[in-house]
Amino acid sequence: MFRPALVTTSAPPVMQRGAALLIMLAILTLSISAFLLSGTSRIQHLLNTPYKNMSALSQAKNALIAYSRLSDPDLSAATGLQLRYLPCPDIDGDGIEDTPCGATSTEGWLPWMSLGVSPLRDASGTCLRYFISSAYKQGASVTPSITPALPSGDFNLRNTSTVIATDVVAVIIGPGHALDGQARGLSAGTATVCGSSVSSSAKNLAVNYMDSILGVDNSVAPNFITAPVQVNATANFNDTLLVILAEDL
């Protein structure tokens, strides 16, 4: 019985080379697109970071000012709403202020729960830190009364060349991501929203969040420094600061 021979066909070598070239071009196009998109994402991140930081810091400042105007211990008194107490810092990162907090200026996490807001974080996802002057804490020897005038703050703020403000009442800081030498691991205790249940854990220590530049260490009061982005890019420094003055209250 006659059976016709099977005929196999294959693409001419020229067509095969053409298909391979198209595949290579497609891969190259995708690679270039991915590179451009990654660059765009990085640029967008750099543009968004200052906005996100200042947005969180501004929310914190507004919440602290609102707290100070409603924290008079006796609102029924004739002097109601005349005092401007600020909350103690949160030491363990659970959002609740830890009282009492001593007679001198002190620092810790922003007590977001005591302020009635959600956890406030900077663009790196780190919770905000907070310094408060001694005269504005509950139990201060002289009450922070608006008459005749509110007391001076303990802090000073400068930039890379000049002093911007003195008598600063409170400082709010967006620490940014961890830099070299900063250990933010959970070395002790259990994790809280922002830190560790053990106050002495590295997760809660100011030195692991705030940075130094031009001889000023933001983890140690009373002097603080802020630096523009172009300086940040060449220094081991990424703090973003916002302050509260007596006139803000």
Q: Are 84 and 149 in contact (CB under 8 A)?
A: no
CB 247 within 8 A of CB 211: no
Is the full-model pTM beyond 0.85? no
Which residue did the predictor score with more confidence, 9 or 26?
Answer: 26
Q: Is the pLDDT of residue 81 over 50?
A: yes
Read off the tokens for 180. Answer: 């070299």
The region of weakest confidence among 4-13, 150-159, 200-209 is 4-13
Predicted local confidence at residue 14, as pLDDT: 53
Determine the pLDDT at residue 74.
Answer: 62
Residue 6: pLDDT over 70: no
pLDDT tens digits, residue range 158-200? 999 899 999 999 999 999 999 989 998 888 899 999 999 999 9
What the block records as the tokens of 68 is: 């100070």
Instruction: Provide DSSP, 123-180.
Output: TTSPBPEEEE-GGGSTT-SS--BSSS-PPPPSEEEE-SSSEEEEEEEEEEEE--S--T
Q: Which range is least confidently modeled, 69-78, 82-91, 124-133, 167-176?
A: 69-78
Angle at 218 between CA 90 and CA 236, to 5 degrees: 120
Residue 151 confidence (pLDDT):
94
- Residue 12 scores a pLDDT above 50: yes
Tokens linked to 198: 């053990």
- How far apart are alpha carbons 213 and 158 in whole angstroms? 11
What's 174-189 look like in SS3? ECCCCCCCCCCCCCCC
Domain boundaries, the chain: 40-248
Mean pLDDT, residues 3-12: 51
Mind listing the pLDDT tens digit for each residue in 47-64? 456 788 999 999 999 999
- Cα(114)–Cα(130) distance, integer angstroms: 13
Mapping DSSP to helix (H, G, I), strand (E, B) and coil, where does residue 193 land?
coil
In the prediction, which pLDDT does 229 show?
73
pLDDT tens figures, 101-151: 999 999 999 999 999 999 999 999 999 999 999 999 988 888 899 988 999
- The helix (H) or strand (E) run that includes residue 113 is helix 112-115
* Residue recorded with tokens 């504005």: 136
Point out which residues pair with 173 in neighbouring strands. 129, 241
The mean per-residue pLDDT over the stretch 22-46 comes to 57
